[in-house]
Every structure is written in C-alpha cells, then in structure tokens.
Amino acid sequence: MDTKQDYQRVAEAKLKTLEAQFELLKAKAQEEGAEAKHELSTQLDKLRSTIDDGREELEKLTDMSEEAWEDSKAKLENLWDKTSGFLEGVFGGKEAKDS
C-alpha cells in the first residue's frame, strides 16, 4: 500500500467486513442450543473487542503523520491476521474471507 490514505480506506473496508461477520455470528448464536450459544457468546465478545481495537487504531492512524503511521499499520495487520484465523475457524473459511 502506497499511502496512509490508501491504507485507511482498506482498513475501513476490513472493519466493515468484520462488523458484518460479527452480525452473522451473532445471528448464528441465536439459532444454537445453550452450550453452543455460550461458546459463541464468548467468541462474540472476543470479536467485538478485536473490532473495537481495530476501530481505535484506525482513529489514531487518521491523526498521524504520513511518516508515523507504520507502527499503527503493523498493529492493524496483526489484528487482521488474528481475526482472520478466528473467523475461518468459526465459519469454516467461507464467509470469513475478504471480498
């Protein structure tokens, strides 16, 4: 990615995708039995926390200079990697993939 603005657009799109996947997981939790619902609720809490962390990091990125954004970019990339593996496990690699 060449510029901070380009990266911000991509990061925003990824966060929107995570939000949609969060809603899918939330709906899935409602359809499950008590034990599965509890497990999915735990997963939802983790995903919500990751989304919130990503949103916070993206907000910080907005205020950074072009030169200082590399650290924030690395944190966001780590969040994407963590979340991608988690979602592939939950969704079996289908809905979890970026479009």
- Does any domain span residue 58? yes
Res 2: pLDDT: 66
Residue 77 pLDDT exceeds 70: yes
Contact 6, 69 (CB under 8 A): no
Instruction: Answer whether residue 65 shows pLDDT above 50.
Output: yes
Residue 96 inside a domain? The answer is: no
Threshold 0.75, pTM exceeds: no
Segments forming the whole domain that contains residue 59: 4-91
Whole-angstrom Cα distance, residue 86 to residue 48?
12
Given a cut of 70, whether residue 52 has pLDDT beyond it is: yes
The per-residue pLDDT for 16 is 92
- Whether 99 is covered by a domain: the verdict is no
- Render pLDDT for 27-51 as a digit per residue (tens, 0 to 9): 888 887 888 788 788 888 888 888 8
Over residues 51-56, mean pLDDT: 89
What is the predicted pLDDT for the residue at 95?
46
**Are the C-beta atoms of residues 40 and 28 closer than 8 Å to each other?**
yes
What's the rounded Cα separation, in Å, for the pair 99 and 89? 17
Does the pLDDT of residue 1 top 70, yes or no?
A: no
Read off the pLDDT of each residue in 11-27 and give the average, rounded to a whole number: 88
Q: In total, how many domains does the chain have?
A: 1
Query: HEC states along 40-58?
Result: HHHHHHHHHHHHHHHHHHH
Closest C-alpha to 10, from 65, 49, 61, 48: 61
